[in-house]
């Protein structure tokens, strides 16, 4: 029986695995490495985070992103194009010192002494502990007004490649954050776009409305902040983690060819009318893009056995993680978006992987 299985090979999964390997506990990582950055981010976008806050965690700093940029002759200061970041991530994969299995976990269950995992490519693994780092993919949030529409007419911003393929259509983009702005920026060339949002966007270089050094300080103190009552932590997080949009995307907001509506999507009364989506108050569209974010629930982890799902509170439950990032199931750890409901919005960003990796490294190794 192996010691640790890491399910997911994004920044959090790889960061946790690096920490475990450095501490002498060789992990087995199963997943498609950095698939979110390859398949679910628009081509040509710019990284929101500072390069110093965007590197993959490793205790010996072997994957330092600014150092990689300097070696490759690229500028370290200023926004980084996603293509350059993808090249960096590919280099990380090639340099990994531990086993990375490009496969998919289709079932995870409790067994005597630990956990059993079945893989899409065939075979079964037996491990003592598991770290879930499977990202946002299964947790797309659909407002009721959009969930009731024919699914072939509505795309979620997570499906970036499908959004990028739209051409010659009337598209309603719903949302007021970065994903909505990116979708509008892509679609305004070759489509007629309406941007629906509740309030005018807030453009700011960082993904938070605080400078990066202050964010790092806030993150470093999260081990203490975790002890605060949840209501206090939510208010503190809301005060700091306001939704912002990269300034370069103001070109989408200012484009005279983009119609802008400030309203709640529920108020539009959207309904299917033949091949169109119509609003009684006026307006019709061929497609709707829901840039409406994500809500992490246990049901978004379809590979969990019914017993594990029940142990975590049921499909509609929001998972909770301890100060060691351990779930209600002993030996089962949650990182990234799965830990956000407990640890707050810091877990949305690559920078948060260091905190999670070090805590899990101490707990396991």
Q: Does residue 169 fall inside a structural domain?
A: yes
Q: Does residue 35 fall inside a structural domain?
A: yes
Number of domains, the chain? 2
For residue 259, what are its two tokens? 């119609």
Same domain membership, residue 282 and residue 302: no
For 80, 157, 182, 184, the CA distances from 189, given in Å and listed in that order, are 23, 17, 12, 9
**Which of the listed residues 290, 307, 327 is the one where a domain comes to its end?**
290
Q: Does residue 209 fall inside a structural domain?
A: no
- Burial classification of residue 31, based on how many CB atoms lie within 10 Å of its CB (0-12 exposed, 13-18 middle, 19 or more buried): buried
**Which of the listed residues 290, 324, 355 is the one where a domain comes to its end?**
290
Same domain membership, residue 124 and residue 12: yes
pTM above 0.85? yes
E strand or H helix at 338, and its extent? none
Q: Are 108 and 303 in contact (CB under 8 A)?
A: yes
For 39, 191, 262, the CA distances from 287, given in Å and listed in that order, are 21, 11, 19
- Structural domain containing residue 134: 2-138+295-364
- Beta bridge mates, 7: 30, 132
- Quick one: pLDDT at residue 1? 61
CA angle 311, 337, 182 (to 5 degrees): 145
Task: Report DSSP letters for 114-141, one per residue.
Answer: EEEEEETTS-EEEEEEEEE---STT-B-
d(CA 175, CA 130): 35
d(CA 264, CA 269): 10
- Quick one: pLDDT at residue 210? 67
Q: Does residue 223 fall inside a structural domain?
A: no
Same domain membership, residue 150 and residue 73: no
Same domain membership, residue 67 and residue 91: yes
Same domain membership, residue 117 and residue 95: yes
Which of 100, 110, 134, 104 shows the shortest CA–CA distance to 122? 104
d(CA 365, CA 363): 6
**Which of the listed residues 260, 290, 320 is the one where a domain comes to its end?**
290
Neighbours of 251 (CB within 10 A): 13
Give pLDDT tens digits along the chain (365 positions). Answer: 679 999 999 999 999 999 999 999 989 999 999 999 999 999 989 988 788 888 999 999 999 999 999 998 888 877 889 999 999 999 999 999 998 999 999 999 999 999 999 999 999 999 999 999 999 999 999 999 999 999 999 999 999 999 999 999 999 999 999 999 999 999 999 999 999 999 999 888 766 666 667 766 765 665 566 666 767 766 766 666 667 899 999 999 999 999 999 999 999 999 999 999 999 988 999 999 999 999 999 999 999 999 999 999 999 999 999 989 999 999 999 999 999 888 877 788 898 899 899 999 999 98
Q: What b-and-e string marks burial along 153-166, b requiring 16 or more CB atoms within 10 Å of the CB?
A: bbbbbbebeebeeb
Q: Does residue 235 fall inside a structural domain?
A: no
Q: Does residue 218 fall inside a structural domain?
A: no
The values of phi and psi at residue 324, to 5°, are: -100, 10
Neighbours of 7 (CB within 10 A): 21
Q: What 3-state class would DSSP assign to 217? A: helix
Q: Parallel, antiparallel, or unpaired for β 105-111 and 114-119?
A: antiparallel
Which of 182, 181, 185 shows the shortest CA–CA distance to 200? 181
Give 34-75 pLDDT, tens digit per residue: 999 999 999 989 988 788 888 999 999 999 999 999 998 888
Contacting residues for 239 by C-beta, under 8 A, at least 6 apart: none
Same domain membership, residue 180 and residue 283: yes
Q: Which residue do the tokens 């956990």 mark?
A: 115
- Quick one: pLDDT at residue 35? 96
Identify the CATH number of the domain in which residue 71 sits.
Answer: 3.50.50.60
Q: Does residue 229 fall inside a structural domain?
A: no
Give 157-187 pLDDT, tens digit per residue: 999 999 999 999 999 999 999 999 999 999 9
């Amino acid at each position: 029986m192996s010691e640790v299985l890491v399910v997911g090979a994004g920044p959090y999964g790889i960061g946790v695995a690096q920490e475990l390997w450095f501490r002498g506990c060789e992990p087995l990582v199963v997943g498609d490495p950095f698939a979110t950055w390859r398949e679910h981010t628009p081509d040509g976008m710019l990284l929101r985070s500072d390069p110093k806050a965007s590197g993959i965690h490793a205790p010996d700093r072997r994957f330092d992103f600014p150092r990689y940029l300097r070696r490759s002759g690229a500028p370290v200061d200023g926004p980084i194009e996603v293509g350059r970041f993808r090249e960096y991530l590919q280099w990380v994969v090639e340099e990994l010192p531990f086993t990375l299995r490009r496969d998919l976990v289709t079932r995870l269950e409790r067994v005597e002494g630990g956990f059993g995992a079945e893989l899409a490519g065939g075979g079964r693994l037996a491990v003592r502990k598991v770290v879930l780092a499977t990202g946002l993919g299964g947790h797309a949030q659909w407002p009721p007004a959009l969930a009731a529409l024919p699914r072939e007419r509505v795309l979620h911003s997570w499906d970036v490649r499908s959004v990028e393929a739209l051409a010659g259509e009337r598209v309603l983009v719903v949302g007021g954050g970065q994903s909505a702005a990116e979708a509008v920026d892509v679609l305004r060339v070759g489509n007629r776009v309406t941007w629906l949002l509740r309030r005018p966007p807030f453009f700011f270089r960082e993904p938070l409305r605080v400078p990066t050094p202050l964010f790092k300080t806030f993150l470093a103190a999260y081990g203490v902040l975790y002890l605060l009552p949840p209501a206090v932590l939510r208010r503190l997080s809301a005060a700091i983690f306001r939704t912002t949009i990269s300034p370069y995307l103001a070109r989408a907001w200012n484009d005279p060819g983009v119609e802008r509506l400030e309203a709640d999507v529920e108020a539009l009364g959207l309904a299917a009318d033949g091949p169109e989506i119509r609003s009684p108050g006026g307006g019709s569209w061929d497609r709707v893009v829901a840039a409406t974010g994500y809500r992490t629930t246990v049901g978004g982890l379809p590979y969990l056995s019914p017993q594990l799902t029940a142990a975590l509170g049921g499909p509609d439950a929001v998972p909770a993680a301890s100060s060691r990032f351990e779930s209600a199931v002993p030996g089962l750890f949650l990182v990234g978006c799965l830990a956000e409901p407990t640890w707050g919005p810091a877990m949305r960003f690559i920078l948060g992987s260091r905190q999670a990796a070090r805590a899990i490294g101490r707990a396991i190794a």
